[in-house]
Structures are given as structure tokens and as C-alpha cells.
Amino acid sequence: MSLDENVVVVDYDPAWPGIFSLERRRICSTLGVSEADLEHIGSTAVPGLAAKPIVDLMLGVEAYPPGQEVVSALAGLGYECIGEAGVTGRLYFRYRVQWKRTT
């Protein structure tokens, strides 16, 4: 499986924080964890910064690797587990959806 993708940088989209908030609620509710455990990271988290239009999230877990129940729950939300993807000590999940701009 290749992680290489074409990179496109776009102007800042004020919808990105809202997309993060919706996804944080959905994930945290499913996993039964605090919203404080899920952070918006990467360039889309920086107001005003041009970025790849991919909202990156980072979930803190008590132990690594997370149990199969976490991986299965995220898969149930549409996330594809890519494994460590070249970074030891983290799991990478990918969710592909085209968000509709609301502004």
C-alpha cells in the first residue's frame, strides 16, 4: 500500500476547525474517551495558514499499541488502519471524505 499522494496546498479554509470539532465528537463518543484526548494537529490547525486540505488528528492512548477494540471502532467509523507508516510507535489511520464547504 502506497502512502504517496499528490500534494495540493490551498488557501486556509475557515471550515477546518469545525470539521475537526465534528470528527472529535464522533470519535470520542464512539471510543468513550474525553475530547481532551484528541487534538487537531498539522497545518490545518493553524488559522490563516495555507495547507493541504487534510484535517490531521492525534489521539492519545494509555498504552501502545491500542487494543483491537480501538482499531475496530475506528474502522467502524470509516477509518483505514495503515499501521505505523514509517513512524515507529504510532498508528496511522486514514479517512477519506470530501467535506462540503459551508462558508
Alpha-carbon distances, residue 91 vs 6, 73, 74, 79 (angstroms): 22, 14, 12, 12
pTM: 0.84
CB 30 within 8 A of CB 46: no
Q: What is the pLDDT of residues 25-71, one digit of tens each?
A: 999 999 999 999 999 999 999 999 999 999 999 999 888 899 899 99
Residue ranges covered by each domain of the chain: 16-94
Q: What is the pLDDT of residues 78-90, one digit of tens each?
A: 999 999 888 898 8
CATH topology of domain 16-94: Beta Polymerase; domain 2 (3.30.460)
Residue 15's nearest CA partner among 58, 55, 56 is: 55
